[in-house]
Structure 1
Amino acid sequence: MSENNKNLYYLDELSDYKVASDDSDVRGWEVKDADNRTVGRVDGLLANKEAKRVVYLDIEVDKSLIEDGHEVYNKSANEGTHGFVNKDGENHLIIPIGLVRLDEENEKVLTDEINHGTFTKTKRFSKGAKLDRQYEVTVFKNYFPEKGLNDDELEDENFYERQEFKNSSDNR
């Protein structure tokens, strides 16, 4: 992937980006799902330069999530079948920032919208991998299958203006 087509950057890669002084740096915090089960720990923050903010949390998934297995994704028959199988070392996934809330007192990141089963089925990646828009779209569709979004809706220039990418501090 060329640098020009790159949508996401780890905050550590961007010298001019920092966690805002009034926001918590959640790296290292435990992540809990909608059923209060451990998903993993926040390993990194992913920013989009055009949106000029963090849009995803990079989660190193808990061993229990990996052990629960993984189902193959299928696209519609007219698009062919595409399987995504997690390989050894693929132990990271992303969560849009707008799907989490912070328990600052206990240093936990909580999501009320995604359960353990959904996280188990989500395509993972290896630490530090360059993530393309296709991966984002795949994950987004996995988290929100009921929305029936098509690829065009998920690939336009306003992609990061969706509510799923707004954190609570955006509403202050």
Structure 2
Amino acid sequence: MMTDTNKNLFNLDELSDYKVAKNYNDVRGWTIIDANNRSIGKVDHLLVNKTHERVVYLDVEVDETLIEEEHNTYQNKVSEGVHEFLNKEGENHLIIPIGMAIIDEKNKSVNINQIDRSTFAKAKRFKKGDVIDFEYELNLVRHFMGDNTIQSSNSADEFYDRKEFNNTIHQRD
């Protein structure tokens, strides 16, 4: 893990000079709904990249059921060799790029239409409060997009120019 001095991401509520813009919903506490309309957890924090001065991720506390499901998905795979990630006890958070979020104001939920529950279940998670390093971000975006060719450019800054981080939050009518 990186030291705090190299920290790329900050919780919005750690930054006194940042707040949710007036025309945006504060989605903290809202349910995350996957591509198959199933709940995978709740938004715990909004993560800001200071260089870009904007929210780049939703920090999600995942449902226990998702964690249980992950154990089931892996039971069958043992014979096929090592699976991608091994999550430890207490690791119940993951991040979702803001550009993948579609806000459903009426139902107070955030829809992630590109990703289904099993992809979330297999994602690498972390403990609340862990410092998230860039390697984790890169691997998670690769996992979500199903694309291992996503390169780490020389700087994390270019990484946030990807469409997954497009900050125009889509509203569902």
Write out per-residue CA displacement over residues 49-83 of structure 1, whole angstroms, 9 at most, x where no aligned residue: 01110000000001111001255xxxxxxxxx896
Q: Report the TM-score when normalising by structure 2.
A: 0.85
What does residue range 7-156 of structure 1 map to in structure 2 within 5 Å?
A: 7-69=8-70, 71=74, 84-145=85-146, 147-153=147-153, 156=156
Q: 1:120 to 1:82 in 2, by over 3 A?
A: closer
Kept in 2, the 8 Å contact 1:28–1:42? The answer is yes
* Distance (Å, rounded) in 2 between the aligned partners of 1:154 and 1:136: 15
Kept in 2, the 8 Å contact 1:90–1:124? The answer is yes
* Distance (Å, rounded) in 2 between the aligned partners of 1:140 and 1:39: 17
Q: 1:86 to 1:155 in 2, by over 3 A?
A: farther
* Distance (Å, rounded) in 1 between the aligned partners of 2:31 and 2:158: 30
Q: 1:154 to 1:148 in 2, by over 3 A?
A: farther
Partner SS, residue 152 of structure 2: helix
Per-residue deviation at 1:2?
2.5
Which residue in the other structure is 1:78 paired with?
Answer: none
State percent identity of aligned pairs. Answer: 50
* Distance (Å, rounded) in 2 between the aligned partners of 1:82 and 1:105: 38
Kept in 2, the 8 Å contact 1:133–1:155? The answer is no
Consecutive aligned runs of 4 or more in structure 1 exceeding 6 Å deviation: none
* Distance (Å, rounded) in 2 between the aligned partners of 1:24 and 1:83: 34
Q: 1:97 to 1:154 in 2, by over 3 A?
A: farther
Q: 1:45 to 1:156 in 2, by over 3 A?
A: closer
Per-residue deviation at 1:3?
2.8
Q: Which moved more, 1:13-22 or 1:81-90?
A: 81-90
For residue 129 of structure 1, what is the amino acid of its counterpart?
D
Kept in 1, the 8 Å contact 2:47–2:58? The answer is yes
Per-residue deviation at 1:152?
3.0
The reply to whether residue 158 of structure 1 matches residue 161 of structure 2 is no
User: Unpaired segments of 5 or more residues in structure 2?
Assistant: 75-81
Aligned-residue Cα RMSD (Å) equals: 2.0
Q: Report the TM-score when normalising by structure 1.
A: 0.86
Kept in 1, the 8 Å contact 2:97–2:164? The answer is yes
Per-residue deviation at 1:154?
8.2
Instruction: Count how many residue pairs are aligned between Structure 1 and Structure 2.
Output: 160
